[in-house]
Amino acid sequence: MAGPLYGIRIIEMAGLGPGPFCGMMLADMGADVICIERKPTAPQSEFDKMKRTVTDRGRRSIALDMKKEGAAELALRLIENADALIEGFRPGVMERLGLGPDICLARNPRLIYGRMTGWGQDGPLAHTAGHDINYIAISGVLGAMGYADRPPTPPLHLVGDMGGGGMMLAFGIVCALLEAKASGQGQVIDAAISDGTATLASMYYGMRAKEQWSTQRTDNLLDGGAPFYGCYECADGRHIAIGAIEPQFYRLLLELCGINDPAFAEQWHKQAWPELREKLRKLFRLRRQDEWCALFDGTDACFAPVLDFDQALEHPHHQARNTFTRIDGIPQPAPAPRFSRTPGSAGRLPESAGQHTQEVLLEAGLSCSELANLAATGVI
């Protein structure tokens, strides 16, 4: 069964991080994603092939030398028949390549032109370099992460690059495709990671406006400040995660732990949180992680073991739901979310840059002689 985006064709200009993640999400859902990569300057080594990651799955790959005359026109021939385009360069780069929005939309008025950047297409920082940590820093998010007695803790680049960036662009592309279906007109999407990260933090900005969130780290309900919402070390050095926020879950947590200390009776007495956290820290260090799992698993105490990437693959819940899959022997997350009638499907990784060049260009209507000429001039 084809995925929900079957029949949608997307051109992706090869990049790093959030752009490929966006392309993976769309490809997982059935879109035909054609990635335009740089033409290799030499035969690809095994190391070059190893640089391909899970987020490159499901594409067809075409390799062009964009510095050669005729490369931009070749890309435009592909863009003419595409529904959307993904690019993740600094502002102005696509324009210099001759593939800016005005040119592309003139050739394909229905095109959704998705632009993925850290700072956006305009603003004082638009042309400066940056990475995930920088984008989430000015969004207020990084400053809320970590412990109060040390600098903010950089999270994995899920918050900025993947969540505020790639996922936001995928959402934007699908929204614009729906609108174009009605209007017949394409448009440009300015997806800035700094913007998207701020959007992800909407709930916290709302809590701050109501004075329900402190700017002090480890002083709030969801940042490790509350003793009943956080991670604790076990006797074997592994960790568990507790999230017993609701009163009934909190009572069950205390009951299962055998806690009769009256100090725990006032769950929301914030001044007592540091003392209660220390008591729980000492308690949870008395047993191994597997012992706590045996006690809590299957209950409503809002408990989970903290697993590493290898352990997560083996967790019974993930195995029952097939949360992970293997493609060419590589374990990786399966497509999400799930659809009852048109499920997504994870495709294979392209083996090399340009693996599908001739296939894609023949589909685009080029003749064998044209391909030979493009190869002779070094465009492909």
Q: Looking at the annotation, which residues are catalytic?
A: 131, 161
Cβ burial 37-52 (10 Å sphere, 16+ → b, else e)? bebeeeeeeeeeeeeb
Q: Return d(Cα 2, Cα 93) in angstroms, integer.
A: 35
Q: How far, in Å, are 39, 79, 361, 376, 377 from residue 372 at the CA level?
A: 16, 21, 12, 6, 9
Q: Return d(Cα 33, Cα 10) in angstroms, integer.
A: 5
Q: How far, in Å, are 250, 266, 279, 373 from residue 259 at the CA level?
A: 11, 13, 10, 78
Q: Return d(Cα 100, Cα 91) in angstroms, integer.
A: 10
Sign for the pseudo-dihedral over CA of 196, 100, 96, 86: positive
Positions of E strands within the chain: 9-13, 32-38, 59-64, 84-87, 112-117, 187-192, 229-233, 239-243, 303-306, 324-327, 330-333
Closest-CA residue to 20 (of 5, 43, 36, 8): 36
> CB neighbours of 42 closer than 8 A, spacing ≥ 6?
none
CA atoms within 13 A of residue 24's CA, in its CB half-sphere: 26
Tokens 């609701």 sit on residue = 246
Positions of E strands within 65-103: 84-87
242 in Cβ contact with 307 (< 8 Å): no
User: Rounded to the nearest 5°, which phi and psi values hold at 233?
Assistant: -85, 145
Using only C-alpha atoms, what is the Rg of the chain? 25
